[in-house]
Structure formats: C-alpha cells, structure tokens
Chain A
Amino acid sequence: MRQSFAIGIGGAAGQGVATPGDIFAKIFSRRGLHLNAYNAYQSIIRGGHTFLTIRTGPEKVTNMGDRIDLLIPLNQDTMDRHLSLLSAGGACIYNADTIKPGTPAEGVQLCPLPVSKLADISKNKVAQNTLAMGAALSMMGVGFQALESVLAEQFRKKEQAVIDENVNLARTGYDYATQNFQAFPHPLPMTDNRYAVLSGNAALAMGGAAAGVKFYCAYPMSPSTGVLHWMAEHARKANIMVRQVEDEIGVINMAIGAAHAGVRAMCATSGGGFALMSEGLGLSAMAEIPVVVIDCMRAGPSTGVPTKTEQGDLWQMLGAAFGDYPRVIAAPLDIGDCFTLIPEIFNIAERFQCPGIVLCDLLLSEGRLSVEPQALDFNPPIDRGEMITSANGNGHGEYKRYLITESGVSPRAVPGLPGYTHTVSSDEHAEDGVLISDEYTNTVKRRAMMEKRMRKVQGIEASAPPPELQGPADADVTLIGWGSTQGVIEEAREQLAEQGIKANQLQIRWLVPLHGDAIVGILKGSRRTIIVENNFSGQFARYLRSETSFLADGHIRKYDGEPFMPHHIAEAVKEQLAGETTLSIPAHEVMV
C-alpha cells in the first residue's frame, strides 16, 4: 500500500479553511512530498460547509484516498459530519471552547485545544486555525522552522507585527501539542525531490500559454473560472490578450474572430456556458477556423450542482451544434495532463482547422496536485498546420480558401495577407467561400464540400494515439475509465491486488478520435470488463457501444456530486466479481 497521510480541514465558508490548506500544501511540497488536494464546498460565499482534504506522501498521490488521518474541524458541524472518517491511529484537533467532540472510533485520539487560554481571541478571529496548524505539525513530527518560514511568506504583504503574532500563535499551538498530545507514530517523511503544486485550472491556462495562445476570453462560470483568473493575472507579463465577455455566445464568437485573424484562441466554461456556445462551435467547423474550448464539467443538468463534479457532458460534446463536422475531444487524465493536453489539442485542431474540445471536470479544475516541474514543458512543439504566411505579390489573387484537397485540409491564409483576400461564411460555400445556396442550391458543390471537410476525420484519427492497457496483461478484470478517474482507478487496482484480485485498466484520453478498433482489440482479451464513470447513464459506455457495438460486463457509476474514492471502486469490483450485480452505484459515506 502506498504510504500516505491525509488531513481534513472543515468549516463554514469564510472561516478560513483555505489558508491552512495553502500552508500545509507548501510545507509538504517543500519536504519533497507529493500531494493531492480536493475541496468539497457549496455555492455560497459565507456560511455553508467546506471540507478540504489534503493527502500527502513520498510517492505519487493521485486522489483524495479513503481515509483521514488528522481531522481539524473549525466548527461543530464539521466535527459531527466527519469524526466518523477517523479510524484507529487517527487524531482530531479542535477548539475545546466552542466544539463538543462526538464519540470517536476505538483508538482515535481527541486533541482539544483550550483556545481562549492560549490566545487572545478578541484580537484574532482565526486564532484557532493557527494554533491548530502548529499543533498538527508538531504531531506530524515536522520542525517548527518550516511553518515559521511559510507563515512569513503567507503574510508577506502585511506588517511585521502581523507576521510575529501568527508565528507566536503557531508556536504556542506547536508547544502545547508537544506537551499534551501523542505524536503520530511515523513522522512525515522527507525527500530531496521538489514539486510544483498547481490546480487543474492553472495547468490548463499555463498549457495555453505554452501552446502560444494569444487570445483568451471567458464569462465566469464555476468550475472553469480559475482559468480566467490565471489568464487575467498573467495577461500583461505573458502578453496574452484576455477579455471577460458579456456571455458565452460572445465568448465563442470572439475567440473565432480572433482565430480567424490568425492567433491561437482559447476559452473555458462549464456545461451551461458550453450549451450557449453550441451554434458558435458549428461556425468554427463550417468556416474551418480552429478554436479550443475547455469544458470544466459540473453536475447537471441546468444550473445543477455548481460546486460538485461529474462526467456528464460527454454527449453534449459529441452532439454539440447541428450537422456533421470533424471535431477533436480529449479528456485530461490528471492535473499535469491538463497542461500537456492543451498544446497537443491545439496542434490537431489547427492542422485540421476544426474545433477542439477539452473535457475537464471540477475534480481536476479545482483540485491541486504536485507535479514534476520538468513535466511542465513550456516549449512543446507548435504545429499550426498548412498556413500561408507570405504574400504572393498580387493585390487580389486567385486564392481559394476552401480548396478541395485529398486530405480535406485547405491551406489557410489569414486576413491582411495581400494576394490572399477571401470570404469565410457560415453558409455552405464553394471553394472561394461564396455561398452556394443563394439563387439555387448547387448539390454537387455541397456534396463536394461536405466530403472535403469530413475527409479530415482520417487525418485526425492518425494524429492522436490509441489508448494502451495499464497493469498486468493477465488480469481478472479490466477497468475502463476516461479522463479524471485515472488516478482513483489505479489506486483501486492496487487495493484489489492486495486482496488477490488482478485488475488492469484502459483509460481513455482521446474521445474523438476514439480508436474503436484498437479498444475492442484490447478488450477482446479481457476476462471481464467494467466501465467506471462519474455519471448516471454511463455516457461513455453508451458511446463505446454506439461506435463499436462493444458491451461491457458491468458498470460502476456515481452521480452524487462527489468523486470516487478508491474503496468505492474496489468494493464494487468485488461485488460484481461475486456475481451480485452488474451495476454498482457506490454511496458517498459523508455529506459534504
């Protein structure tokens, strides 16, 4: 089993859950540890429950895991909801003045802090948080110096007095715990590695910068807003034109306008905003103007559950806009992949002059992960496809923007290039861009243009790799997932292996092109297949069936708003192998 340690901090929104979260994350990553953070929260600015899980360890931590080792409830509600997550060896640090402990499981250590005796709470409203952080680090066997320097950094914009006050408080908490509580049996390990810690949204934005995006626009919508924030914060320095637009209809069309003029343009939204973009997506396809749209999925339909995750937008992407047209759809497998995928999808979208869709979800967008800094390559190859960049000397040439070619790709010139003036239009058009349905409809030209565009599908197929089987070839069961479930399925397989069940995994990253033949080829060799996805109807299972006629033996689905935990999958696999069911819907044990 992977060695890991998880802290859960919970309270009402506005109680300051985020700051201790940031501080723990910094301390862990500076100790050379991996980490994964997931924040369960509600669509409310003050009040409402927030629960942050930070899991750390010397090996890669790909998900929030199954258990909490240390609980820090900042209010009674958190104590009541989450104490049951602790098992023998766990501990709970809380403010003894305001919170009554419940009855913990055997072997759980309750660590009450007499906050009003240790600090002047009239002066510092979040004194309990700082005391608890100090206490926690003492119990984890982390030297105080680490906390002191991170606190100084955290409050660097404040006066020295504020820094001193916080350091003193933390010290008090630290010393109190050393004297009164029992430390965890294993001090937190330390390694020489150094990781970068980032959110999926930051990774998506940085991936855009690495891809050479020059135009980013968006309308705020959870959970995609973080991409806009990163872009807005870095716009000046990174020389990216960033615009907040009036709505998503404006967003997609503005991105198309910018891409038409010749820049790489990107935008991000969530399901509802994407629905508004649908007509624009068709324009991108018809006018053959490449744009990349990121959809950060949240639980739908409609406004849905704005702060909860789901993989429920797949069919919206597959069916977005009317008519047939080539498109590319990919789902990043983890936060690091949010970065890597963007330049890759831009290259394909630009080579084939079609829309590219990134299907991310709240889990990745708002989660945080430690990533090897080398994995964030800011110089990935840029392939803009067949572009005409130098003028041919004529003022107005014979250029055909939609030249019929064997590959379906017509060399693209951007406006302003002398000799290559042209018309683009949302109406079906002839090779020169002039519409064909004005006085009568030319069926020959329509057919030729339709076939030209659709020929690009073959090129797209060839430019993205098929998925590969992970884990032992000779397994009892093959788990099939897509996008963000990569890590949690991997850990579930490890748990199964410890219990003598061999499982391998086929994780889908490119949804279009799907590589159906390759997938069926792999799955033919499986003893049993189970599709794992974060939605109600098995959207990927239905897609796979529609493309390949492949029927999986079983399904594990979750659509309660929270992501899978490894044991949800492991237990579901066991019940299916025992023949109890072919559809498992694991229950989320706590209300967050």
Chain B
Amino acid sequence: MATTATPPPAPKVNRIGLPVLDYRGGKTTLCAGCGHNAISERIIDSLYEMGIQPERVMKLSGIGCSSKSPAYFLSRAHSFNSVHGRMPSVATGALLANKTMMGLGVSGDGDTASIGMGQFVHLMRRNLPMIYIIEDNGVYGLTKGQFSATADLGSKLKTGVINDLPAIDTCALAIQLGATFVGRSFSGDKKQLSAMLKAAIAHKGTVMLDVISPCVTFNDHEGSTKSYKYMQEHEEAIAEVGFVPHFEDISVDYDAGSTFDVRMHDGSHLRLHKLHENYNPTDRVQAVKALMEAHEKGEVLTGVFYIDPEKPTFTELLNMVDDPLATLPQERTRPSKQVLDEIMNRLK
C-alpha cells in the first residue's frame, strides 16, 4: 500500500510568529503541586497570547522558592536573581537605565512583606512601569516553612505553632501607596489569573498582583489559611475579570450597569463584571474598604481592586531622553562643553 507522507502540522504560533515553546523555561525544581509552578504556567500563556517579544523582557526576583521561578519560564528573556528582598531597587535602577525593557518581577511573601517591606513600599510609590507578582504562601518555603508577614492571625503551622500577629495586606498597601493596577488572585484560578496577567501586560504603570500560591510542603494543612482547601472554600471574587487585548476585535456587548469597561493605555479593554455591591475599581477608598470588610468576614477577596490606566509613570515623570541611558554612545555620556565651561567658571 502506498503511503503519502503527511507533513507534520505547523506548530501553532502567536501574533508575532513564535510558538509557545519559545516562552517556556527550564524544568522546574520546585515541589510537585507547588502553587508557584501554576503561576509560571499562567505567565507563559499570557506572554505568549499577548505576543510579547521574549528578549524585551527583564525578569527580576529576590530570593525564595518563588524567586527561583523565573528560571522556569521564558528562558529567552534576560533574568536577574538578586538578593533577598532587594529586587525592587534593582528593578528601579535597571529600568531607569533602560526604559525600553519590560520589567517582570517575581517575589515571595517573605521576600516582599518581611525582609523587603522597605523596598516594596517605595517601589509602589514610584509607579515604575513593571509587573510585580507576589507568590504568596504565608510562609518562607525555602527556609522550611516559618510564618511570613502575610500569614493570617490565628493560622496554624504544621508543628501546631499559632501565628500571633495580624497579616499585612500587600494589596491595601499598594493601593494606598500609589500602584496603579492592584489585584489578588489564586494560583488555582486559571481563568482569573490569566485574564489579570494579560491585563497587567497591557498596563503602563506599576502592576501589583498578590497571588495566593499554596506551599504544598509546609502550608497546605488544616488550620492554614493559604491552603488549596481554604482557598476553595473562602475565595470571594469581587468581580469577574475579562480581558480583550488591543489586537482583538471588541464586539461582545456588555451591560454597562453591571460591568466596568476600562480602556487601557494600549487600547486593550479590561471588563470587570461586578459581583459585589459597592465595587468601583477606580475608587481607591472603596477598594481598601472592600479589602478590610472581606478580611473581617474571613473571606479572601480576589480580582482587580484598583486601576488607574492613565496616571503618568515614573519614567514619564522623570522626563528622560528618548534613548535608553544604558546604550548612549560615549560622546553623550559626559556633560557638554558648554555645561563644563559653566561649571568651571563658577569655581573661579
């Protein structure tokens, strides 16, 4: 019987012609079932779907299991694993020196809310164009499961130790400090997390996403408030997140009474379908109030809490030259003759 060779089907590619393989990273060495792995998957999908050139991305992280995860996505991007809690300033320096790069930061709850708190709050104030993801498991995974500063009051470690201090809500803080896109999601909520990540890519200022990401090894038991089970029982979405990228046709109708349509800076649309009474994602006070109320009720509120798509970013405010400082030719790295003469005259 004659066989006709059928050519293998061409790999599926995205709008810039790259297969999803080009968005993958090294093989993960994190525990099987770790929430961080699921987040890496969502990052891969969303960068692929948005058609981001991998080489334009600068991955940045601190130290922790979460901070290791940039090795497990987007191998074709630049990457900087800095020191514990210090990624915000490394990111600020790097992105000021080269504002054409897209900053994608991955941190942990310990890396951010414990050792890195000082750096974190100042990053939020800057509205630096970057995405900052906290992979939040309520413990220090890499140092074997001690409580971090996002662990809820009264939650219990495997050893029976009870957390005696209240949790820091990184979302409430970020909103108050000036981040312009703030939300919380859950590593197990594929649909919501993907939509939020894609919207994050479309946003021009600081995006702060706190993603609850259970640590299966140290914090997934009864009594933990960051376990899969706890999240399944207590997750409460403030709104359903829909995202239509700028390169797609926006035809689907929506009900203006129950849905906020936010036009983003690049022309994409974020469609937030209200699930809560007083939800208004452009009102910071409302947003913080909703977070505090949910907390009182013992719910883990998720969704996009606050967005301001047009607030000028740090690099816009600094009024920088168009070319990245990092690649200016040598003639342009020193002050001009005229400026030097002026300086010298004032010394005489």
- Tell me the A residues contacting B by CB distance below 8 Å: 29-30, 194-198, 202, 206, 209-210, 212, 214-215, 217, 234, 237-239, 241, 243, 245-247, 249-251, 253-265, 279-280, 282-283, 287, 373, 376, 378-379, 382, 389, 395-396, 414-416, 418, 421-427, 433-435, 438-439
B25 CB, nearest partner CB in chain A, Å? 10
- Asked whether B334 lies within 8 Å of A209 as measured between CB atoms, the reply is yes
> Among B75, B93, B342, which residue has its beta carbon within 8 angstroms of that of A253?
B93
Task: Give the CA-CA distance A72 to B28 in the complex, in Å.
Answer: 74
Q: Is the CB of B321 within 8 A of A239?
A: yes
User: 9 smallest A-B Cβ distances: which pairs?
Assistant: A257-B93, A262-B326, A261-B97, A212-B333, A425-B81, A258-B93, A196-B347, A257-B90, A254-B93
Distance (whole angstroms) from the CB of A166 to the closest CB of chain B: 21
A245 vs B321: C-alpha distance in the bound complex, in angstroms?
Answer: 21
A236: nearest residue on chain B (CB-CB)?
B319
Given known pairs A243-B96, A283-B82, the reply for A373 and B348 (CB within 8 Å) is: yes
Q: Are B326 and A378 interface neighbours, CB within 8 A?
A: no
Take A214-B328, A238-B335 as given contacts and tell me if A249 and B118 are in contact as well, using a CB distance cutoff of 8 Å: yes
Contact B119 A261 (CB under 8 A): no
Whether B78 contacts A439 by the Cβ 8 Å rule is no
B347 contacts A396, C-beta separation under 8 Å: no
Complex contact A215–B97 (CB within 8 A) = yes
From known contacts A214-B97, A241-B320, A258-B93, infer whether A247 and B118 are also in contact, taking CB-CB under 8 Å. yes
The number of A-B residue pairs with CB atoms under 8 Å apart is 202
In the assembled complex, 11 residue pairs joining A and B whose CB atoms fall closer than 8 Å, in A order, are A212-B330, A215-B93, A237-B342, A239-B332, A250-B89, A251-B89, A258-B97, A262-B327, A283-B86, A382-B333, A423-B78
**Which B residues are CB-close (under 8 A) to A287?**
80
Contact pick for B94, options A197, A212, A260, A264, CB 8 Å: A260
Q: Is B83 touching A253 in the complex (CB atoms < 8 A)?
A: yes
CB distance from B243 to the nearest CB of A (A): 27
State which of A217, A256, A262, A396 has its C-beta within 8 Å of the C-beta of B76.
A396
A426 touches B83 (CB 8 A): yes
**Cβ of B252 under 8 Å from chain A:** no
Q: Please state if A378 and B55 are interface contacts (CB–CB under 8 Å).
A: no
Contact B334 A212 (CB under 8 A): yes
A212: B residues at CB distance < 8 A: 330, 333-334
Taken together as a complex, chains A and B put the C-alpha atoms of A238 and B324 apart, in Å, by 16
Inter-chain contact B343/A215, CB cutoff 8 Å: no
Cross-chain contact B86 with A253 (CB below 8 angstroms)? yes
Selected contact of B78 from candidates A206, A255, A421, CB within 8 Å:
A421
What residues of chain B lie closer than 8 Å to A259, measured between beta carbons?
Answer: 93, 97
Using CB atoms, name the residue of chain B closest to A197: B347
Given A238-B339, A416-B78, A264:B333 Cβ within 8 A = yes
Q: Which residues of A contact B92 (CB under 8 A)?
A: 243, 254, 257
What are the residues of chain A within 8 A of B200 when measuring CB–CB?
Answer: none
How far, in angstroms, from A253 to B84 measured CA to CA in the complex? 11
Is the CB of B344 closer than 8 A to any CB of chain A? yes
Q: A253-B89, A379-B334, A389-B327 given; name 8 further pairs at CB < 8 Å.
A: A245-B122, A247-B118, A250-B86, A258-B326, A262-B98, A283-B82, A423-B79, A434-B71
**Interface digits, B84-112 against A, CB 8 Å rule (1 contact, 0 not)?**
00101111111111101100000000000
Cα–Cα distance between A54 and B1 once the two chains are bound (Å): 105
Q: A254-B89, A418-B55 are in contact. Are A196 and B344 (CB under 8 A)?
A: yes
Q: Please give, as numbers and ranges, the residues of chain B lying within 8 Å of A283 by CB-CB distance.
A: 82-83, 86
- Contact partner of A237 (CB less than 8 A), chosen from B55, B101, B335, is B335
Q: Which of B56, B90, B343 contacts A206 (CB 8 A)?
A: B343
Which A residues are in CB contact (< 8 Å) with B97?
Answer: 214-215, 241, 257-263, 265
| Complex interface: chain B residues within 8 A of A258 (CB) | 93-94, 96-97, 325-326
Contact of A194 among B58, B78, B101, B348 (CB under 8 A): B348
Q: Given A241-B325, A253-B93, are A416 and B100 neighbors across the interface (CB < 8 Å)?
A: yes
**B321 partner residues in chain A, CB cutoff 8 A:** 239
Q: Shortest CB–CB separation between residue B152 and chain A, in angstroms?
A: 28
Q: Are A280 and B83 in contact (CB under 8 A)?
A: yes
B10 within 8 A of A: no
